[in-house]
Chains A and B, each alone.
Chain A
Amino acid sequence: MHIAIIGNGISGITAARYIRKLSGHKITVISRETDFFFSRTALMYIYMGHMRFKDTKPYEDHFWEKNDINLIRGSVASIDFDSNTLHFEQDFICNDSVLSKAPSHLQYDRLILALGSSPNKFGWPGQDLQRVHGLYTMQDLMQMEKLSKDLERAVIVGGGLIGIEMAEMFHSRKIPVTMLVRESSFWDMVLPAEESAMVNQQIRIQDIDLRLDTELEEIVGNDQGQAVRVKTNHGDSIDCQYVGLTAGVHPNVQWLKDSPLDIDRGILVNEYLQTNLNGVYAIGDCAQLHAPDPGRKNIEAVWYTGRMMGETAAYTICGVPTEYHPGIWFNSAKFFDIEYQVYGNVPVDISDDHDSLFWQDDDRERSIRIVYSTDDQVVIGFNLMGVRFRQEVCEKWIRDHTPIAEVMRDLVLANFDPEFSPYYHRKLQEVYEQKTGKVIEPQLKPRRFDSVFKFLKKEV
C-alpha cells in the first residue's frame, strides 16, 4: 500500500514515523517548505541566534532514508480524488533542495492531508503589500530576516502567542517594536485578568510599545508597493518597514475548497480523522473535528495535537482503528521570560459556578491559579505563570474529580520547578488557609519523586 502524506510538519511526520513503526507500507511525504522535518516552534530561536536551522531538525538527515520514508520537495497543485492522483505544480522553483525533483503526478492508496495553517487576514487595506508577513513557515522567517536589515520599526498586529514571539525576536536584535492589540489586555480571551496583566507588564518591561484597545485601520504602502506605515483606529500613524500579522491562524485549505472534500473552516473529519472521502485523512492544524471531546475545540492548532493526530491516524491506517481522544486540555507558552502552563479548564471569567485560588508574587512574575467548581469543590483547572507543575499529576487530579482540599494538601506532588527552587506551592496553600480558615497538614515530604510515582500509580 502506498501512503502519501502532504505536509512534513509535526502531524505528517508523526504519521509517517508511526506507519513505519507499524508496517512496511510505502510512505511518501511531500513538502513545499523544507526538505526535512524541522520544528517550527523553534523558528524564533533561529532568528534570535539561540540555534541554527540544523539544530531545529529533530532527526538527522540520514534518518529518512534509513527508515525508508520517501521525501519529495514540491507543491501539490491539485488532487484527483477519483483516480487517487496528486498533480504537482510544474513551475515550482526551489533552489535549496537536495532531494530529487518532484514528479508530475503521484498515485496513492491512502492520503493524509497535514496542510497546516495560514495567518489570518481580516480584509485590512494594504494587507497584501510587500513587507507584510505572518510567521508560520521557514519562508516567513527568511523574509523577516531579510527585512530586518535597516529595519527601524516593526509593527505587530495581534496579541497572540506568535505576536509576542515576534516581538521577542525583534527585541533580541534591538529593533523597536509596536504591538497593536485589539483587546484591552494581552490575550485576555484566554488568560484571566491577573495573568493577562502580568504579560502586559512583561512586554512593557522590555520597552516594547504595547498599544491595547487598538486596531489596525490600514497599512499604507509606498510607490514600490512596500508597507511604510500603519494607521490605527485611534487615528495614529506609525512609520514602519515591517508589519507582522499575528491575529491567529486558519486551516490552509483554501486551495481545496472546490474539491469533493467536506470543508468548513478546516477539513471535516470524524473521530478516526477520516474525511468524507474514502482513504483520505486530515490531521493537525488543517483538520476540523465534527464532534470534539468535551472541553476541546474542533480545531486546535497546537503542536501536541498534531503529534497525537499523526499517531492516531497511523494506527487506523495500519489496521488498528483508533479514535482520537486527546484527553484533558493542556498547553504551554513563554511570554518573554515567563513560562506559562495550563492544565484543564481555566475560564477567563471565574463565574458563579467556579471559584479559584490565586497567588502571585509581589513582582507579578509568578502566579499559581487553581480553579474548582463551587458546588462539589472539585478541581477543574490549573494556570501557572513562572512556575512549573507536573502535567501527569494535575491531569490525574482533574480526571479523578479530586476535591480542592485534597489537592491543596498534596500540592507538593505537582512541583516541577528545578531543585532548590522556592516552594511556591506553599504560597498558594497559605491563600487557601486564609480563605477557608482551615490549616493544611501536609502528609508528604517535599520533592520526593517516590511520592509522585506512588500517587500516579494509585487507582481510584
Chain B
Amino acid sequence: MLDDFANQFLPSTVGGLVNGSIYALIALGYTMVYGVLRLINFAHSEIFMIGTFASLTVLLAIAPSAPFTGIALVGVLVLLIVVSAVVSGASAVVLEAVAYRPLRKRGATRLAALISAIGASLFLQELFALVVIDWLIDKPGRNQASAPRFVARDTVFEVGNVAVRLDQVIVVVAAVVVMVALDRLVNKTRIGRGIRATAQDPEAAVLMGVSIDNIVRVTFMLGGAMAGVAGALYVMEIENTGYMIGFVLGIKAFTAAVLGGIGNLRGALMGGVVLGLIENWGAIFLGSQWKDVIAFTVLVVVLMFRPTGILGESLQKARA
C-alpha cells in the first residue's frame, strides 16, 4: 500500500494539477455570478460545453495532419483559446439576457432563477444533441466527438519517476496566466471596481453611478470566457467532447467553487486545484471508482469546519 503510494504519488499529482486547473477555470464563472447576483448559474456547465465545440470546430477546419511545433503551435493555441472564449462569453451574455434578466426585472425569487438555470441547462444540452452538433461537425449529436491531435505528447521535463508532458504544461500555464489576468482585471480596473461594488451592495453601487445591467452582463461575459478557455484546453488535453460533457465537470467545478469559498476568485482557483489533487491522491488508496465520493466527502468535512469554504471571504472583500 505504502509502496503504491510512493510509486503513484508524483504521477497522480501531475494529473491532479491538470484536472484541477480545468476545474478552477470553470469554477470562476460560478463564483463570479454568485458573487454579484447570489445566483447559482447551473447552465454554466453548458457554456463550457459550447466552448469545447467552438474549439473542436476550428480544429476540424484546420485539420492538422501532424502536431504543430514552435510559432504555429502557439498561434493555433491562442486562436482556439480566443475563439472559445469569445463564443462562450457571448453565449453567457445571451443566456443572461434570455434566462435571467426578465426574471430579475420582475423581481422574481432566487428560486425561480434557479429553476430557470436548470431549464436553460437542459435546453442547451438537447439543442446541441439534436441540432447544433450535427450542423457543426456533421456527426450524430449524442455520439462522442473526437478532436485531432495538434499538441505532441512530448516529455518536457522529468520529476522523480514522472515524465511531465507538453500538453500538461500548456494546460497549467495557460490556466494560471488567464486567472492572473482576471484577478488583475477585477482588482485593478474601473470595471472591476464596479463588479466588486455591485457584489458588496447593489443599491449603494447604483447610487454611486454603477450600471447594474452592464456589470451583470460583464460578469457573465468574463465567467463565460473563462469557461471557454477551459473548453479549449480540455479539447487539447482530452481530445474528445460531447453534449453531456459539462454535466460532471460542471458539478466538480461548482464543488471547487464552494470548497474554496463561493464568491471568491482566489478561492475558486484554490478549490479547483485542491479538488483535483485530492481526487487523484485518494484514488491511489481506494481505486478510481471512489474519486467522486472522496471529492464530496472532503467538501462536507471542509464545510463542517469552515461553512464559507477554505478562503471564506467573498468577492467584494477580495481587494487585498
Q: Do A and B come from one complex?
A: no
List residues of chain B with CB under 8 Å of any chain A CB: none
List residues of chain A with CB under 8 Å of any chain B CB: none
